[in-house]
Amino acid sequence: MRIAVIGGGPGGLYFAYLWKKRHPDATIDLFEQNAAGATWGFGVVFSEQALEFLRADDPDTVDAIAPRMESWKNITLNLRGESVEIDGVGFSSIGRLDLLGILQARVRSVGVTPRYDTLVQSTAQLAGYDLIVAADGLNSLVRRSFEAEFGTSVSHSANKFAWYGTTKRFETLSQTFVATELGTFNAHHYRYAPAMSTFLVECDPETWWRYGFADKTVEQSQASCEQVFAATLDGHGLVSNKSVWRNFPWIWNERWSSGNMVLIGDALHSAHFSIGSGTRLAIEDAIALVKALEAEADIAAALVRYEAERKPVVKKLVTAARTSADWYEKFPDHMKLGLMDFAYSYITRSGRIDDARLRTMSPAFMARYEASKASSLGGSKA
How far apart are alpha carbons 28 and 38 in whole angstroms? 22
Query: What pLDDT was estimated at residue 38?
Result: 77
| Cβ burial 308-328 (10 Å sphere, 16+ → b, else e) | eebbeebeebbebbbbbbebb
* Cβ partners under 8 Å of residue 339, min gap 6: 77, 79, 80, 82, 84
Amino acid identity of 346? Answer: Y
Query: Do the domain assignments include residue 239?
Result: no
Mean pLDDT of 296-323: 95
C-beta neighbour count of 169 within 10 angstroms: 15
Query: What pLDDT was estimated at residue 282?
Result: 94
Q: Positive or negative CA dihedral for 65, 66, 70, 72? A: positive
Query: Do the domain assignments include residue 149?
Result: yes
pLDDT band at 378 (very low <50, low <70, confident <90, very high): low
Query: What pLDDT was estimated at residue 313?
Result: 94
Q: Are 263 and 150 in contact (CB under 8 A)?
A: yes
Query: Do the domain assignments include residue 143?
Result: yes
Beta-ladder partners of 134 = 6, 263
Q: What does DSSP assign to residue 110? A: T
Query: Do the domain assignments include residue 14?
Result: yes
**How many domains, the chain?**
1
Q: In degrees rounded to 5, what are phi and psi of residue 273?
A: -60, -15
Comparing CA positions, the residue from 145, 64, 131, 134 lying closest to residue 99 is 64
Query: What pLDDT was estimated at residue 352?
Result: 80
Identify the weakest region by mean pLDDT among 202-206, 232-236, 264-268, 368-372. 368-372
Count Cα neighbours of 48 within 13 Å in the Cβ-side half-sphere.
8
Query: Do the domain assignments include residue 316?
Result: yes
Is the pLDDT at 337 greater than 60? The verdict is yes
Amino acid identity of 343? Answer: A
* Cβ partners under 8 Å of residue 29, min gap 6: 2, 3, 4, 5, 115, 129
pLDDT band at 50 (very low <50, low <70, confident <90, very high): low
| Cβ burial 346-377 (10 Å sphere, 16+ → b, else e) | bbebbeeeeeeebeebbeebbebbeebeeeee
Query: Do the domain assignments include residue 150?
Result: yes
Terminal alpha carbon distance of the chain: 76
Burial class (CB in 10 A: 0-12, 13-18, 19+), 195: exposed
Query: What pLDDT was estimated at residue 46?
Result: 83
Query: What pLDDT was estimated at residue 277?
Result: 77
Comparing CA positions, the residue from 270, 276, 274 lying closest to residue 325 is 274
Query: Do the domain assignments include residue 371?
Result: no
Mean pLDDT of 7-32: 96
Residue 144: CATH number of its domain: 3.50.50.60
Give me the chain's average pLDDT, please: 93
| Owning domain of residue 27 | 2-39+58-67+96-156+249-329
Query: Do the domain assignments include residue 323?
Result: yes
Query: What pLDDT was estimated at residue 382?
Result: 42
Note the pLDDT tens digit of each residue in 62-112. Answer: 899 989 999 999 999 999 999 999 999 888 899 999 999 999 999 999 999
Share above pLDDT 90 across residues of the chain, in percent, rounded to a whole number: 82
